[in-house]
Amino acid sequence: MIAYIKGEVIEIEEDKLILECGTIGYNISMPASALDGTLRPGQEVKIHTHLHVREDAMQLYGFLTRDDLKMFRMLLGVSGIGPKAALGILSGLSADELRFAVLSDDVKTISRAPGVGKKTAQKMILELKDKLDLQEAFDTKTMHVQDSSQAETGDLADARKEAVQALTALGYSGSEALRAVKQVDMSPDMNVEEILKQALKKMNF
């Protein structure tokens, strides 16, 4: 119903903000990670929204990116996870971290999110894994971290992906592998072995 709202941040609370658009102030619940220093009163911002309707209430949930909104809606499709729980999960994990954790069966990382125990993490992996794709997840992460003026070549993107897969095969979690590969200073001519060596140094610093 409401795809996004663009307006001025009026007030920020622990788990929500008031966004003024025209003469209306919208009360929008958001992940803590988006409210912790990212936004400030007086700032003009575009918030992607999900309107959750119950018999006794309507509540707007907001996100800084469409990717976060997409992941929020995927979480709502998991049995037993409502909007507040989904918001809590995205407060503790980014959409990228959550995707890689699900794809690598990383129960430990998912369990770090507020209110998520081992059983809930296992259920999330079971119900979401078939809806996610490793190549797409890696491409999305690459798009998020690379500078728009320094687009990666296809070969380098493939090498990064293979390095992440190699690290997970060595026993590292998907999130740990992605974080280490992301920290490597890339050059266009790097191959998988060189990326892997640099990433392992990041793992062991």
How is 74-137 classified by DSSP, letter by letter? HHHTSTT--HHHHHHHHHHS-HHHHHHHHHTT-HHHHTTSTT--HHHHHHHHHHHGGG--HHHH
pLDDT > 80? residue 18 = yes
Domain contains 188: yes
Which of 20-34, 49-63, 78-92, 183-197 has the least mean pLDDT?
183-197
Please give the single-letter amino acid code of residue 189: D
Q: What is the mean predicted confidence (pLDDT) over 78-88? A: 91
pLDDT > 80? residue 11 = yes
State phi, psi for 179 to the nearest 5 degrees. Answer: -65, -40
pLDDT value at residue 154: 57
Domain contains 88: no
The number of distinct structural domains making up the chain is 2
Write out pLDDT tens, residues 129-138: 888 876 676 6
Domain contains 95: no
* DSSP at 69: H
pLDDT > 90? residue 42 = yes
Determine how β-strand 58-63 pairs with β-strand 24-29. parallel
| Final residue belonging to a domain, choices 50, 65, 80 | 65
* Pairwise pLDDT comparison (183 vs 150), residue with the higher score: 183
Write out pLDDT tens, residues 137-156: 666 666 655 533 344 455 66
The total number of residues shown for the chain amounts to 205
CATH number of the CATH domain containing 14: 2.40.50.140
| Final residue belonging to a domain, choices 46, 65, 84 | 65
HSE-CB of 67 using CA atoms within 13 angstroms: 13
Which of 55-64, 148-157, 164-173, 196-205 has the least mean pLDDT?
148-157
pLDDT band at 187 (very low <50, low <70, confident <90, very high): confident
| Final residue belonging to a domain, choices 65, 87, 105 | 65
Strand partners, 59: 52
Domain that holds residue 23: 4-65
* pTM for this prediction: 0.67
pLDDT band at 16 (very low <50, low <70, confident <90, very high): very high
Domain contains 122: no
Domain contains 141: yes
Q: What is the mean predicted confidence (pLDDT) over 9-21? A: 92
Listed residue (28, 31, 67) closest to 50, CA to CA? 28
Domain contains 25: yes
